[in-house]
């Protein structure tokens, strides 16, 4: 396993290296050449152009209309406009460093000359690769199994050593004492557990694949089911991950059809089979096609275009309808405002200076909701052969276009479903807090608290641990902060899942108890994840969690049975060995019973799990397992002792000669109680028979019981040292076992009232 983990970690690093192995245009000693980005050093002058992957962390010296996409790095879906100016912010987050380009981001517009600041592992991206070189931390389930193993080891050692010592001290044969104590030790060890866990996990993985959840690391399935907190990014999970036109806002109350028609006319997107072009122009066209309103542009003829540039931050077109020429401008609101003289407020033309405050209020209130906004303005213009930037004057402001990364239709239901399942959802985004908050409001997700990366940076560890409990949205955060949030949640004893798909998410995917990625994620994220969703959909996730809980439930059944009835039986055997004048059961008989019991459990992974069990996440609680053992173990011992009484005093099996009868009687009772109590323990329902067990489990268990019952009457039984049991025994056995099962059920009422799990 260790080797496998190391191999995977190494492969992840290789993928990361491959992903960032790029060429760079560098100027050294006045000579410009293209070199491998690995050879860049701080101080090099690097040029980047549209489509380039930034080769190192660089400080921009000179730029032209530069925009970059930092989505894989920050999670933000909108392009980021860059500047060459000095940024005067103390402790800025990477998102605030707009005069920097980060290694791995993509230039989507313009070009820049910049100076290399840090390269390779010293870059922001490199620091991510550094955190991936270690193996996955132990999952909660692995820790639980380990502590369970330690508890059993302690029990087994104490019991085996005591049995051997006491039996040897009272004069029993040393070899017999040793083999008997070893048989008891073997009886206590749940040797089938690895098989049960592996079968459960592999069958579960297959079932999860049917609900579009691919499990990469089997051991994470149980933690997946027990996940109490899911940290997820916003883009693509809560939102569609693409820009869409949300609404058009005229300046007054009345709708103005011109606003949308003009935005379609003043547009550079090309609508064919698919719409291509600038993301905002594409969004306008897609909105038109969805609402079948593209025909509104048909009466217009496009006469000329004044293209967009980064100085004006707007574009214009001139159109002609019925020989009337109109200049339409669309762009950044501040830029468009500066070209406007008038404003159209519900059809009334006002001087813009008179309504400027109301317009600004509207613009800022929409901005505060986290929307991206464009303004649209127009004016009548005389017919000419060509038009220029100088014509963009005396415009009449018509209104705003509101863009957003729209929320997913089913995200609200998915979040509700997750909450109903006891999974708290926290949003970790590189995007700004307003956008994240607006999305949550649109989806009706209750937001307790919003914390931004810069606030988090000021906090000490204890403050972070406290704040992660009450915060729903973490905005403008760095990959390192994502890691801190997950560590803090884990330190607060939560089983934490993280859903992410960018390079920046890889460390958090590694650190979380369950790293979840999607099929469309970057390779590094997929490699770091434990679970890959074939659809980036929280509903798919909810189905997977359900499966994980069923698997955990069936694994726990085996553990609780093994540590209660099994423990009780071995304890009775140990006590009886001290006082009886013969062996209560031969070592070979104990081992055979153990084998038969394990066979009966082979189909446990296919058992049904009660609906109420999968409603909330569980955690591995060793204190609960210990209490369960201490409470339910003695029930089994009580009925073992009762069987001793029946065999000794009703059937007079008190001598070495009648020992085979005693052993057969106890073997059958012990086996019946040990196996049949599974039907009581497997459910919390009272009475136990109101929960339907799996058919294969029922079939195999009853077959094993039947085999154990007839064993004393067979040649194999004789060979093993059993004697045939009298008919009266069976009557007493049936009554006794029935009382035992109902008594354990009554014990469950008491136990689950006081031991919450």
Partner 1 sequence: MPNIDLFTWWALSISFSSIFLIFISIYLFIDSKSRRKEDIRKKAGAFRIGRNFAFVWVLLGLLVFYIFSIQLGAGVLSEAIFAVGNIVVEALLVLYLLRQREEDSKQA
Catalytic annotation, residues: 233
The span of 28-36, 473-481, 547-555, 737-745 binding partner 1 (CB under 8 A) equals 737-745
Those residues whose C-beta lies under 8 Å from the C-beta of residue 690, and which sit 6 or more positions away, are 683
Say whether residue 755 binds partner 1 (CB under 8 A).
yes
Q: Which one of 207-215, 464-472, 545-553, 572-580 is the stretch in contact with partner 1 (CB under 8 A)?
A: 572-580
Tell whether residue 461 is a contact of partner 1 (CB under 8 A): no
Helix axes 587-600, 695-710, angle to 10 degrees: 160
Distance CA 138, CA 410 (A): 33
Smallest CA-to-CA distance from 225 within 529, 554, 484 is with 554
Question: To 10 degrees, the CA torsion angle through 529, 535, 539, 542?
Answer: -30
User: In this structure, what DSSP letter does residue 407 have?
Assistant: B
CB nearer partner 1, residue 339 or residue 618? 618
670 and 643 Cβ atoms separated by less than 8 Å: yes
**Binding to partner 1 by residue 493, rule CB under 8 A?**
no
Regarding 749 and contact with partner 1 (CB under 8 A), the answer is yes
Least distance (Å) between residue 501 CB and partner 1: 40
Backbone angles phi, psi at 657, to 5 degrees: -65, -35
Of the pair 641, 696, the CB lying nearest partner 1 is at: 641
Stretch touching partner 1 by CB under 8 A, among 79-87, 130-138, 448-456, 575-583:
575-583
How many amino acids of this chain bind partner 1 (CB under 8 A)? 44
The stretch among 52-60, 100-108, 269-277, 573-581 that binds partner 1 (CB under 8 A) is 573-581
Tell which one of 424, 638, 702, 705 touches partner 1 (CB under 8 A).
638
Tell which residue, 530, 221, 507, 119, has the closest CA to residue 518: 530
Residues 6+ positions from 447 with CB-CB distance below 8 Å: 437, 440, 441, 472, 473
Query: Which CA distances in Å does 384 have to 81, 139, 300, 391, 393?
Result: 35, 72, 16, 11, 16
The minimum distance between CB 687 and partner 1, in angstroms, equals: 5
- Half-sphere exposure of residue 195, counting CA atoms within 13 Å on the CB side? 10
User: 174 or 616, CB closer to partner 1?
Assistant: 616
Q: Note the maximum CA span of the chain.
A: 123
Per-residue x/- mask for partner 1, residues 525 to 564, rule CB under 8 A? ----------------------------------------
- Contact between 476 and 453 (Cβ < 8 Å): yes
In whole angstroms, the minimum distance from the beta carbon of 693 to partner 1 comes to 18
Rounded to the nearest whole angstrom, what is the least distance from the CB of residue 279 to partner 1 in the complex? 51
Member of 310, 363, 631, 713 binding partner 1 (CB under 8 A): 631
Check binding of 422 to partner 1 (CB under 8 A): no
Among 150, 198, 714, 739, the residue binding partner 1 under the rule CB under 8 A is: 739
**Which one among 591, 634, 698, 718 touches partner 1, defined by CB under 8 A?**
634
Backbone φ, ψ for residue 219 (5° rounding): -65, -15
Cβ proximity to partner 1: between 311 and 623 the closer is 623
DSSP string, 516-585: EEETTS-HHHHHH-SEEESS--HHHHHHHHHHHHHHHHHHHHHHHHHHHHHHHHHHHHHHHHHHSSS-SS
627 binds partner 1 (CB under 8 A): yes
Q: What is the CA radius of gyration of the chain?
A: 36
Site string for partner 1, 22-61 (x = CB under 8 A): ----------------------------------------
CB of 150 to partner 1, least distance (A): 21
CB of 650 to partner 1, least distance (A): 5
Which DSSP string corresponds to 594-632? HHHHHHHTTTGGG----TTGGGS-----HHHHHHHHHHH
Residues 642 to 681: which contact partner 1 by CB under 8 A? Answer: 642, 644-646, 648-652, 654
Indicate the residue among 483 and 574 with the shorter CB distance to partner 1.
574
CB 282 within 8 A of CB 242: no
Whether 450 and 437 have beta carbons less than 8 Å apart is answered as yes
CB under 8 A: which stretch of 79-87, 415-423, 446-454, 732-740 binds partner 1? 732-740
Tell me the C-alpha distance between 610 and 344, whole Å.
64
Q: Alpha helix (H) ranges present in 318-460?
A: 333-338, 352-368, 411-420, 433-442, 453-457
Among residues 52, 223, 433, 745, the one that binds partner 1 under rule CB under 8 A:
745
Q: How far is the CB of 577 from partner 1 (least distance, A)?
A: 12
Q: Closest distance between partner 1 and the C-beta of residue 545, in Å?
A: 23
- Between residues 51 and 171, which has the closer beta carbon with respect to partner 1? 171
Instruction: Give me the residue label for tokens 């446990």.
Output: 604
Is 306 within 8 Å of 389 (Cβ atoms)? yes
State yes or no: residue 184 binds partner 1 (CB under 8 A).
Answer: no
**Nearest-angstrom CA–CA distance, 24 and 37:** 5
Q: Is 732 in the site for partner 1 (CB under 8 A)?
A: yes
For residue 166, state whether it binds partner 1 (rule: CB under 8 A): no
Binding mask 700-729 for partner 1 (x = CB under 8 A): ----------------------------x-
Among 369, 432, 743, 757, binds partner 1 (CB under 8 A): 743
Nearer to partner 1, 61 or 170 (CB): 170
Minimum distance from residue 688 beta carbon to partner 1 (Å):
9
Cα dihedral 157, 603, 531, 539 sign: negative
Interface pick for partner 1 out of 641, 696, 707, 757 (rule CB under 8 A): 641
Please tell me the distance from the alpha carbon of residue 24 to that of residue 29, in angstroms, as a whole number. Answer: 16
DSSP letter for each residue of 282-351: HHHHHHHHHTT-GGGGTT-EEEEEEEEETTTTEEEEEEEETTEEEEEEEE-HHHHHHTEEEEEETTEEEE
Q: Cβ closer to partner 1: 187 or 399?
A: 187
User: Which residue's CB is nearer to partner 1, number 34 or number 623?
Assistant: 623
Among 39, 158, 630, 710, binds partner 1 (CB under 8 A): 630
CB of 169 to partner 1, least distance (A): 17
Encoding tokens for residue 256? 């103005």
Q: Which residues pair with 270 in a beta bridge?
A: 276
750 binds partner 1 (CB under 8 A): yes
The yes or no reply on residue 690 touching partner 1 (CB under 8 A) is yes
Least separation, in Å, of the C-beta of 79 and partner 1?
53
Among 575, 602, 622, 705, which residue interacts with partner 1 (rule: CB under 8 A)? 575
Question: What is the C-alpha separation between 342 and 323, in angstroms, rounded?
Answer: 23
Least distance (Å) between residue 641 CB and partner 1: 4
CA distance readout (Å), 707 to 541, 671, 703, 716 = 43, 10, 6, 11
What is d(CA 508, CA 528) in angstroms, rounded to the nearest whole number?
9
Label each residue of 65-124 as H, E or C: EEEEECHHHHCCCCCEECCCCCCCCCCCCHHHCCCEECCCCEEEEEEEEEEEEECHHHCH
Nearest partner of 348 among 252, 259, 249, judged by Cα = 252
CB of 612 to partner 1, least distance (A): 9
Q: Of 415, 531, 547, which is closest to residue 473 (Cα–Cα)?
A: 415
Give residues in contact with partner 1 (CB under 8 A).
572, 575-576, 579, 627, 630-631, 634-635, 637-638, 641-642, 644-646, 648-652, 654, 686-687, 690, 728, 731-732, 735-736, 738-739, 742-743, 745-747, 749-751, 753-756
């Amino acid at each position: 396993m260790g080797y496998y983990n190391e191999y995977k970690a190494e492969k992840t690093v290789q993928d990361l290296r491959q992903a960032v192995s790029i060429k760079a245009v560098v100027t050294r000693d006045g000579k410009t050449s293209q070199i491998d980005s690995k050879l860049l050093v701080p101080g090099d002058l690097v040029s980047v152009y549209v489509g380039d992957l930034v080769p190192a962390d660089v400080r921009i010296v000179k730029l032209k209309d530069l925009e970059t996409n930092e989505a894989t790095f920050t999670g933000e879906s909108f392009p980021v406009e860059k500047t060459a100016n000095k940024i005067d912010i103390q402790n800025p987050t990477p998102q605030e460093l707009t005069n920097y380009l980060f290694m791995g981001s993509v230039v989507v517009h313009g070009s820049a000359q910049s100076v290399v600041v840090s390269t390779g592992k010293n870059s922001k991206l490199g620091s991510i690769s550094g955190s991936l070189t270690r193996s996955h931390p132990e999952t909660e389930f692995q820790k639980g199994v380990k502590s369970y193993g330690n508890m059993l080891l302690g029990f087994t050692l104490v019991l085996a050593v005591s049995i051997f010592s006491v039996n040897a001290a009272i004069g029993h044969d040393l070899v017999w004492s040793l083999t008997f104590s070893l048989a008891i030790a073997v009886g206590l060890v749940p040797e089938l557990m690895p098989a049960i866990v592996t079968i459960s996990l592999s069958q579960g993985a297959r079932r999860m694949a049917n609900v579009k959840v691919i499990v990469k690391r089997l051991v994470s399935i149980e933690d997946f089911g027990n996940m109490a907190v899911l940290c997820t990014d916003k883009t693509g999970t809560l939102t569609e991950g693409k820009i869409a036109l949300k609404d058009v806002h005229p300046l007054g109350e009345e709708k103005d059809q011109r606003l949308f028609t003009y935005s379609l006319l003043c547009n550079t997107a090309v609508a064919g089979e698919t719409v291509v072009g600038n993301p905002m122009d594409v969004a306008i066209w897609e909105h038109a096609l969805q609402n079948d309103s593209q025909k509104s542009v048909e009466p217009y003829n496009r006469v000329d275009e004044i293209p967009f540039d980064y100085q004006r931050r707007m574009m214009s077109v001139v159109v002609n309808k019925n020989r009337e020429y109109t200049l339409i401008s669309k762009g950044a609101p501040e830029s468009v405002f500066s070209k406007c003289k008038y404003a159209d407020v519900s059809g009334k033309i006002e001087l813009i200076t008179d309504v400027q405050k109301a317009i600004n209020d509207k613009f800022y209130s929409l901005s505060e909701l986290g929307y991206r906004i464009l303004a649209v303005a127009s004016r009548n213009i005389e017919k000419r052969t060509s038009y220029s930037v100088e014509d963009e004057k005396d415009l009449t402001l018509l209104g705003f276009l509101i863009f957003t990364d729209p929320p997913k239709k089913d995200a609200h239901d998915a979040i509700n479903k997750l909450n109903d399942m006891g999974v708290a959802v926290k949003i970790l985004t590189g995007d700004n807090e307003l956008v994240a908050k607006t999305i949550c409001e649109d989806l009706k997700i209750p937001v307790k608290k919003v914390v931004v990366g810069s606030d988090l940076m000021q906090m000490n560890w204890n403050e972070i641990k406290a704040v992660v409990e009450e915060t729903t949205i973490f905005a403008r955060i760095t990959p390192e902060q994502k890691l801190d949030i997950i560590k803090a949640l884990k330190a607060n004893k939560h089983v934490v899942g993280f859903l992410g798909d960018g390079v920046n998410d890889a460390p958090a995917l590694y650190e979380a108890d369950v790293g979840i990625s999607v099929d469309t994620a970057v390779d590094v994220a997929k490699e770091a994840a434990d679970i890959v969703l074939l659809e980036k959909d929280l509903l798919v996730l909810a189905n997977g969690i359900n499966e994980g809980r069923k698997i955990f439930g069936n694994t726990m059944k085996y553990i609780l049975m093994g540590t209660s009835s099994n423990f009780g039986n071995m304890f009775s055997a140990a006590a009886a060995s001290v006082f009886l004048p013969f062996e209560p059961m031969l070592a070979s008989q104990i081992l055979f019973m153990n084998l038969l019991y394990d066979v009966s459990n082979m189909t446990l992974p296919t058992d049904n799990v009660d609906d109420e069990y999968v409603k909330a996440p569980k955690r591995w609680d060793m204190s609960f397992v210990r209490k369960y053992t201490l409470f339910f173990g003695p029930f089994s011992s009580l009925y073992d002792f009762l069987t001793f009484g029946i065999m000794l005093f009703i059937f007079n099996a008190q001598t070495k000669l009648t020992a085979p009868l005693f052993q057969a009687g106890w073997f059958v009772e012990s086996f019946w109680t040990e196996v049949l109590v599974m039907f009581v323990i497997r459910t919390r329902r009272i009475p136990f028979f109101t929960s339907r067990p799996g058919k294969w489990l029922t079939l195999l268990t009853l077959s094993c019981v039947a085999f154990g019952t007839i064993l004393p009457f067979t040649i194999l039984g004789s060979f093993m040292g059993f004697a045939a049991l009298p008919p009266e025994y069976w009557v007493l056995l049936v009554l006794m076992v029935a009382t035992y099962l109902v008594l354990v059920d009554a014990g469950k009422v008491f136990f689950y009232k006081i031991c919450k799990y």
